Amino acid sequence: MPPFVKICGLSTPETLDAAIRLGATHIGLVHYAPSPRHVDLKTATDLRQRAEGKVKVALLLVNASQQLTGEALSQVRPDIVQFHGNETPEWLAAVKRLVPAEVWKAVGLADAGTLDRVRKYDGAADRILFDAPAAALPGGTGTRFDWSLLKNHRHSIDWGVAGGLTPANVAQAIAETGAPLVDVSSGVESAPGVKDVDKIAAFLKATGR
Ligand SMILES: O=C(O)c1ccccc1N[C@@H]1O[C@H](COP(=O)(O)O)[C@@H](O)[C@H]1O
């Protein structure tokens, strides 16, 4: 059974429609001003409504204030909120009590010890997304981590792999980690923030979707 596939950082109706048509199970909208994939809340809401009932929509936030988080979630009404900064388990649990959305937490996977430390999110998050450790930006940089850290990985909640995935390496990432979900952003772009439909197609094909 192929993993779930999330295409993150979509910002136009055309690329959103293509991702859905080509078989993505999830799409991501980035609301984080420093990102080249940032969309304002009006655009995020329009794209979310366009995708309604066709694919699961994640809204990605990074260390957003309480006010911004509330505004974004009540306006966009995503299926999933993906926290990609230093958000605490307590913060995730508080959000989960308030909104009817899945809560995901991205974590930079630097070493085997991270796998133990990340268990603090069990119970607060619905899914852990393993990504490369944060660099200039906390994600979306095309940097991969050592997939062997996830060999035979078992987790009590759902999880997935992100970071530096491309059409050329995603099959290997799936084979090495057994990830139930893979997430890609810059690996399906022709320039930062510009999604490439041919690369999205190649990526989905390589996952078995
Ligand atoms: O996509 C972004 O611009 C972004 C900005 C800030 C935090 C996370 C971001 N994207 C997420 O990072 C992973 C990895 O991206 P990439 O495939 O290595 O480019 C991506 O899957 C998004 O979920």
* pLDDT number for residue 47: 98
**Superfamily the domain 4-207 falls into:** Aldolase class I (3.20.20.70)
Smallest CA-to-CA distance from 41 within 14, 66, 71, 67 is with: 71
Q: What's the 185 CA to ligand 1 centre distance in angstroms?
A: 6
Host H or E run for residue 102: strand 102-108
Report the chain's mean pLDDT, rounded to a whole number: 97
**Ligand 1, atom 1: nearest CA belongs to which residue?**
140
**Reported pTM:** 0.97
**90 exposed, middle or buried (CB, 10 Å; 0-12, 13-18, 19+)?**
exposed
- pLDDT reading at 194 higher than 90: yes
Does pLDDT of 74 surpass 90?
yes
Q: Give the distance (Å) from ligand 1 centre to CA of residue 90.
A: 23
Q: What is the ipTM of this complex?
A: 0.98
Give the residue, 154 or 43, on which the prediction is more confident: 43
Domain positions in the chain: 4-207
- Residue 153 reports pLDDT greater than 90: no
**For position 134, what pLDDT does the model report?**
87
Per DSSP, 23 falls in state T
Q: What are phi and psi of 95, to 5 degrees?
A: -65, -40
Quote the ligand 1 centre to 140 CA distance (angstroms): 3
